[in-house]
Amino acid sequence: MNKEAYIQMFKDTDALLEGHFLLSSGKHSAKYLQCAKVLQYPNLAEMICRDLAQYFKDKQIDVVIGPALGAVTLSYELARQLNCRSIFAEREDGVMKLRRGFKIEEGEKVLVVEDVITTGGSVREIIEIVKEYKGEIVAVAGIVDRSGGKVELGYPLKTLLTLEIETYEPEECPLCKEGIPIVKPGSRKSK
């Protein structure tokens, strides 16, 4: 699927909202992205992962790993299509780690995934975990690169969409100046 079709899919499933939003950071934005809204449909998750998987089909990936919870569905479906394991890391006392007996064997080929890559914070934490286990990171894959292509992770990055979503400090927000009512995404009817 091309970029326009993806954007339409995101809008149709309310994964991409347009309006005036109060983000958890306290900043304001005219767009809000929530990949879980599109990944709740297994057929769409399958389609998205088919497009992503094509880049890694011949890379002999042993394991796909992402940070919980956002990347769990993506990691699972991508691994299903690549016919390999899917694991996730999660926070314990604020530190991202492998739990539940999950392991990466030395030399295993690893694909790191995250649904939306903004600053790459959680992805970097996953990369550190893979290095500790001496896995071999092949690439990082995601659905959306929200950095507008600026993020640098030290490994090849493959995403299906690149979006630059501007955020504003409340006092400088042009949407506030226009008097558009603000919505906190996920709180109630957000359309």
**105 phi and psi angles, rounded to 5 deg:** -80, 150
Nearest to 82, CA basis, from 64, 105, 109? 64
Residue 98 or 173 with smaller CB distance to Zn ion: 173
Residue 28 or 146 with smaller CB distance to Zn ion: 28
Q: How far is the CB of 189 from Zn ion (least distance, A)?
A: 19
Burial of 172 (0-12, 13-18, 19+ CB in 10 A): exposed
Residue 3 or 177 with smaller CB distance to Zn ion: 177
Residue 131 or 177 with smaller CB distance to Zn ion: 177
Residue 160 or 175 with smaller CB distance to Zn ion: 175
Q: How far is the CB of 181 from Zn ion (least distance, A)?
A: 10
Contact 117, 151 (CB under 8 A): yes
Which residues of the chain form contacts with Zn ion (CB under 5 A)?
28, 173, 175-176
Q: How far is the CB of 186 from Zn ion (least distance, A)?
A: 17
Residues 6 or more apart from 66 whose CB is under 8 A from it? Answer: 72, 74, 75, 88, 89, 112, 113, 114, 115, 126
Token pair 């991409």: residue: 16
Q: How far is the CB of 118 from Zn ion (least distance, A)?
A: 19
Residue 30 or 36 with smaller CB distance to Zn ion: 30
Q: Which amino acid is at 141?
A: A
Q: Which residue is nearest to Zn ion (CB)?
A: 173
Q: Reading across the β-sheet that carries 136-145, which strands appear in turn? A: 95-98, 85-92, 63-67, 109-117, 136-145, 157-162
Q: Which amino acid is at 15?
A: A
Q: From CA 40, how far away is CA 152, in angstroms rounded?
A: 29
Q: How far is the CB of 30 from Zn ion (least distance, A)?
A: 9
Q: How far is the CB of 171 from Zn ion (least distance, A)?
A: 9
